[in-house]
């Protein structure tokens, strides 16, 4: 047993799953190649408990936009730590960050902070229900663990089954299903909550533009869950990239380069509903994460962060296409440059699935940490991308040579 194997056995005795986050649970199909724990990170690299180094394209499930231990961000946190973490009244830094978010996010007429993405999404729903006086919501995509977003597994997950009468699910990207549900329940619907992009091949923004049209037609609020797209696809998020103006929006992951903070923002007429009821938490004004977010957004404003991320993502995609051509494989690069992927496209779906699994398994052996989508950060340099492409080529060659002995599916955990 390795050191990390022993540590995982001990963790399971005290921690359900042995970890805090579903997507960070060890994948059984990657046993002995995927590290169970990461001890440290710097730039675009991470090291496991055995000291093995990986070029990381998972980036803590998306929050690390600039790179691990990014000096300017961590220095800002250390400076704030000298003054204090939490006070008996609000910190003036809250307004400093609110002004930054207001400046770069298209619909952020007013801003409030929380700690996680699901917090922010839930706050947006509460505002929408308070404003409209309606109880039902429609959801499209993953929005976190709260009851309103988890009715599909009710009641085995502890969510009251009655909530199925108040929360309906639209399969992401299904414009026909969206239109049918909105027309059927329009007088009961407070809001439609949707992720703007599902990390798939549809990079057009057509779906959320259609949702915007339908919600306006029926007087329903549109809430965009920009928890992972915000500050990553562009400094103004998917709203900026796709030209969609939501009523309310939620931000989190890429906002502070890994420090725990989220924001829910929106049009003044909706956000001012917060003056009529109480929605609050003690740690929303925690100053270390606020300092990190201020530093992160200022770097994004000052430097060509998103231009670089997109350039590195395109370089990676070009490498994928070159590998597929070299190996005469029916595959191509897909998705948006900040989170691309290699699409295996042979007529045999089972072969595609198995090859993807084998490829990722061999990538771990090569010291490339990735599952499904390849998150790119500001610390990925051309040399890192080129080295990754070489490793990806070797890994895919080995995957093609391996005789498939069993079918193994990687479930699409992105969060």
Structural domain for 62, as ranges: 3-68+304-401
* Domain boundary pick from 276, 302, 328: 302
Q: Identify the CATH number of the domain in which residue 328 sits.
A: 3.90.1150.10
302, 322, 356: which is the final residue of a domain? 302
Q: Are residues 75 and 30 part of one domain?
A: no
What gap in Å lies between CA 309 and CA 377, rounded to an integer? 6
Establish if 116 belongs to a structural domain: yes
Same domain, 295 and 322: no
In this structure, the strands spanning 331-334 and 38-42 are: unpaired
Instruction: Find the farthest-apart pair of alpha carbons in the chain and give their distance in angstroms, rounded.
Output: 64
Q: What is the CATH number of the domain that holds 195?
A: 3.40.640.10
Q: Partners of 234 in the beta sheet?
A: 230
Tracing tokens 């989170």 back to the chain, one arrives at: 339
pLDDT tens digits, one per residue of 16-56? 999 999 999 999 889 999 999 999 999 999 999 999 999 99
In a domain, 406, yes or no: no
**Residues of 7-46 as b/e, b for ≥16 C-beta within 10 angstroms?**
ebeebeeeeeebbeeeebebbebbeeebbbbbeebebbbb
Residues 163 and 296 in one domain: yes
At 283-334, the pLDDT tens digits run 999 999 999 999 999 999 999 999 999 999 999 999 999 999 999 999 999 9
Structure tokens at 237: 């998020």
Q: Does the residue 408 lie in any domain? A: no
CA distance 12 to 30: 18
- Residues facing 332 on adjacent strands: 343
Q: Each residue of 211-248: pLDDT tens digit?
A: 999 999 999 999 999 999 999 999 999 999 999 999 99
Last residue of a domain, one of 250, 282, 302: 302
Looking at the 3D structure of the chain, how many domains does it have?
Answer: 2
CB 306 within 8 A of CB 235: yes
The reply to whether 199 and 273 lie within a common domain is: yes
Asked, for residue 411, whether it belongs to a domain, the answer is: no
Asked if 171 and 283 sit in the same domain, the reply is yes
In whole angstroms, what is the distance from residue 397 CA to residue 284 CA? 49
Residues 26 and 139 in one domain: no
C-alpha angle with apex 212: 210 to 216, nearest 5 degrees? 120
Predicted TM-score (pTM) of this structure: 0.94
């Amino acid at each position: 047993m390795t050191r990390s194997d022993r540590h995982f056995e001990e963790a399971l005795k005290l921690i359900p799953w042995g970890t805090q986050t579903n997507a960070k649970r060890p994948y059984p199909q990657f046993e002995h190649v995927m590290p169970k724990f990461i001890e440290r990170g710097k730039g675009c690299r991470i090291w496991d408990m055995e000291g093995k180094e990986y070029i990381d394209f998972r980036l803590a499930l998306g929050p690390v936009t600039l790179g691990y231990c990014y000096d300017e961000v961590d220095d800002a946190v250390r400076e704030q730590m000298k003054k204090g973490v939490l006070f008996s009244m609000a910190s003036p830094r809250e307004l400093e960050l609110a002004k930054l978010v207001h400046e770069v996010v298209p619909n952020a007429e007013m801003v409030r902070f929380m700690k996680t993405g699901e917090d922010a999404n839930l706050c947006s729903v509460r505002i929408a229900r308070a404003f409209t006086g309606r109880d039902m919501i429609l959801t499209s995509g993953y929005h976190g663990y709260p009851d309103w977003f988890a009715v599909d597994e009710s009641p085995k997950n502890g969510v009251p089954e009655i909530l199925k009468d108040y929360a309906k699910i639209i399969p992401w990207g299904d414009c026909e299903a969206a239109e049918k549900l909105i027309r059927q329940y329009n007088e009961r619907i407070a809001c439609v909550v949707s992720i703007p992009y599902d990390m798939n091949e549809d990079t057009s923004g057509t779906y959320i533009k259609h949702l915007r049209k339908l919600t306006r037609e029926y007087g329903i609020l549109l809430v965009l869950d920009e928890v992972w797209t915000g500050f990553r696809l562009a400094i103004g998020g998917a709203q900026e990239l796709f030209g969609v103006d939501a009523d309310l929006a939620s931000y989190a992951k890429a906002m502070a380069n890994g420090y725990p903070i989220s924001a829910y923002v929106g049009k003044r007429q909706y956000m001012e509903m917060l003056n009529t009821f109480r929605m609050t938490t003690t740690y929303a004004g925690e100053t270390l994460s606020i300092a990190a977010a201020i530093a992160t957004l200022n770097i994004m404003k000052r430097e060509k962060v998103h231009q670089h991320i997109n350039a590195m993502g395109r370089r990676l995609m070009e490498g994928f296409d070159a590998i597929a051509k070299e190996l005469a494989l029916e595959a191509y690069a897909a998705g948006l440059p900040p989170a691309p992927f290699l699409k295996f496209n042979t007529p045999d779906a089972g072969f595609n699935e198995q090859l993807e699994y084998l490829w990722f398994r061999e990538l771990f052996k090569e010291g490339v940490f990735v599952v499904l989508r390849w998150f790119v950060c500001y610390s990925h340099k051309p040399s890192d991308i080129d080295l990754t492409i070489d490793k990806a080529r070797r890994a895919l060659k080995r995957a093609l040579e391996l005789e498939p002995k069993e079918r193994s599916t990687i479930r699409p955990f992105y969060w």
